[in-house]
Structure 1
Amino acid sequence: MLLVPLAAAALTAAAQDPPKAKKLYCWNDPDSGRTCSDALPPDRVNSARDEFSVNSGARVGAVDAAMTAEQRADAAAAAIQARADQAAADTRKRTEQAMLLSYASEDDLKRVFTERSTLVDNSVDTARYNVASMRAALITKLQQAGDAELSGRQVDAKLAQDIGQRHAELVRQQRLLNSFEQQRAQLSSEVQDTLQRYRTLKGAAQPPG
């Protein structure tokens, strides 16, 4: 007995639902130019298009073209980079607040950098000494080889091997020296930037006079 009223109610509700407004779809076709149709072809489902009301002709919406796999990968990479940039900004803000709390004065902050600078300077000095020593030793071995050749004697195999090893070690020490010198230059720049930032933060944190 309940089926009849329920069926009648369903028919009444369906009759009250307004019909969906018809749309006109317009897209750019590479061959035929601007194309419009009241039915969207299956091969244009993923294409960019504008949608208009058939009754009023008013533009009622737009759909962007579906992204390619490469575009999706680029978008994902951009989202990851944006999150990383935001995390870096948050970290910097927390670091700046910690810096204000940790160092009561500029001299306290300078002392920290002085310790780091001393360590890097020691590394630079040691590398310079090693380069000079290895260069002098290599020159001595090369002179021995040169004397042998000028005397018409064949350069000893052990001497030639020693020259090769010392040359390789000299190159390695030179690379270390260059690395330490770059660290020193970067540290000097970091010191100036940090001190300038500290002064700015300290000034902003001071109550107005």
Structure 2
Amino acid sequence: MTADRTAFAGVWLLLAVAVLTPLDAQAQAKRLVCWTDDMGRKACGDSLPPKYADKPRNIIDPSGRTVKVVPGAPTPEQRVAMEAKARQDAVAQRAAEQQSAYDRALLATYATPQELASLRDDRLASIDTSIELSEASVRRDMVSVAELRARLPAATSKEKPEPRLLKQVTEFEESLADTQHSLAALRKNRETLCNNFTRDIRRFQELKNGAVTFTSPCPVAGSLSSDAAAATDITGVRAFFDHHAELENDFDPAFLDNYAENAVIRIPRLDASGKPVIEERKIADYRAELIKALPAAKQKLETHQYSDIRIEPGKDGRATVSGKRTSTLSKTSEPFYVVVRSSGSGWKIVEAGSQPAP
């Protein structure tokens, strides 16, 4: 029994030796690590020296083949470049995701490119209205500023300007600058809206049909106004104004009939605190004062000459007449403006920015 056990153990020992011998042979055939030392020479060994841990290296098998290339640690410059590229890739990825979401929303919201063009025109019409109102405000403010400046002493005069008047001029000029800034912003917003819708109309068709077959140029500013189709009769406006000036210089009360019943006269002045304001007066009140002043004006023979006349078409059949008015008596000049509107019986003055001469 003991002999059998001894024989059996011997068999297992032989089997173990047979199995372990190939593994031991593989362990003896270790792979080499090769690197470049500080002198620029190639070196190889069983392991990489710690001082070269950040250097690139090759793993070589027993047959001399390179089985793996391990890059070294990046230099500070390479690290900066890698980080910059990673940021750029992240930005590009976010942009692609946002564009994809925008494309899905574009297709889900609209059925045709014509719907986009219609929405664009609706929004532009609203902006154009704001632009026209701002332009009118700028024109009024410019007239007010010019009127106030006309009250200042001439540059060659030794007379000192009144401090309150100087303050009024400054504040009106600041108000004018603010309005002009707002007007510029409105025009920029209009341009941006046009560009965005042009892009969206094109993109929608590329996504939907794979080709662009519908084009809709952005309408020019002011063309979407409700009264855009009604051209202002510039010649008629000029004839009306010339006749109005003629009646005025003839001291004929009939010139007051040229004002609409709801006409407004805007006069710049200082309030109780010295702050510049625009006083609005109804023509019904103003007319009585003018009629009362006519005899004295006729006795002095103070008439006015109008020059540098400009006529600008506006909304709702309106037009603005502006220019310079010079007294034939005092030889002083001041700017003026009047806004006229077409009515069933002809033109009527609905607003004036300077006092008509009596």
Compute the TM-score of the two structures, normalised by the length of structure 1.
0.69
Q: Hey, what does 1:45 align to over in structure 2?
A: 53
CA RMSD of aligned residues (A): 3.3
Q: Hey, what does 2:166 align to over in structure 1?
A: 160
Percentage of matched positions with identical amino acids: 17
Taking a change above 3 Å as real, the CA distance of residues 148 and 71 of structure 1, as seen in their structure-2 partners, is same
Q: Hey, what does 2:93 align to over in structure 1?
A: 83
1:106 and 1:89 map into 2 onto residues whose CA distance is 18
Q: Pick 1 or 2: higher relative contact order, CA cutoff 8 A, min separation 6.
A: 1
Q: 1:174 aligns with which of 150, 169, 180?
A: 180
Q: Hey, what does 2:42 align to over in structure 1?
A: 36
CA shift, 1:128, in A, is 1.8
> In the alignment, is the contact (CA less than 8 A) between 1:131 and 1:173 conserved in 2?
yes
Unaligned runs of 5+ in 2: 1-15, 212-358
CA shift, 1:94, in A, is 0.9
Letter paired with 2:171: Q
Compute the TM-score of the two structures, normalised by the length of structure 2.
0.44
Taking a change above 3 Å as real, the CA distance of residues 107 and 129 of structure 1, as seen in their structure-2 partners, is same
Question: Runs of at least 4 residues of structure 1 off by over 6 A?
Answer: none
Taking a change above 3 Å as real, the CA distance of residues 67 and 74 of structure 1, as seen in their structure-2 partners, is farther
Q: Hey, what does 1:131 align to over in structure 2?
A: 138
Does 2:70 match 1:62? yes
List per-residue Cα deviations over 1:27-57 (Å, max 9, x = no partner): 7x6xx5x44333645454334x241417444
CA shift, 1:117, in A, is 0.9
1:76 and 1:41 map into 2 onto residues whose CA distance is 32
> In the alignment, is the contact (CA less than 8 A) between 2:141 and 2:176 conserved in 1?
yes
User: 1:93-172 counterparts in 2 under 5 A?
Assistant: 93-99=103-109, 102-103=110-111, 105-145=112-152, 147=153, 149-172=155-178
Letter paired with 2:184: N
Which SS does the other structure have where 2:209 is aligned? helix
> In the alignment, is the contact (CA less than 8 A) between 2:116 and 2:197 conserved in 1?
no
Which SS does the other structure have where 1:66 is aligned? coil
Q: Hey, what does 2:32 align to over in structure 1?
A: 22
2:52 and 2:149 map into 1 onto residues whose CA distance is 76
Q: Hey, what does 2:201 align to over in structure 1?
A: 195
CA shift, 1:64, in A, is 4.5
Does 2:195 match 1:185? no
CA shift, 1:61, in A, is 0.9
1:143 and 1:166 map into 2 onto residues whose CA distance is 14
Unaligned runs of 5+ in 1: 1-8
Structure in which a larger fraction of residues adopt strand: 2
Taking a change above 3 Å as real, the CA distance of residues 160 and 45 of structure 1, as seen in their structure-2 partners, is farther
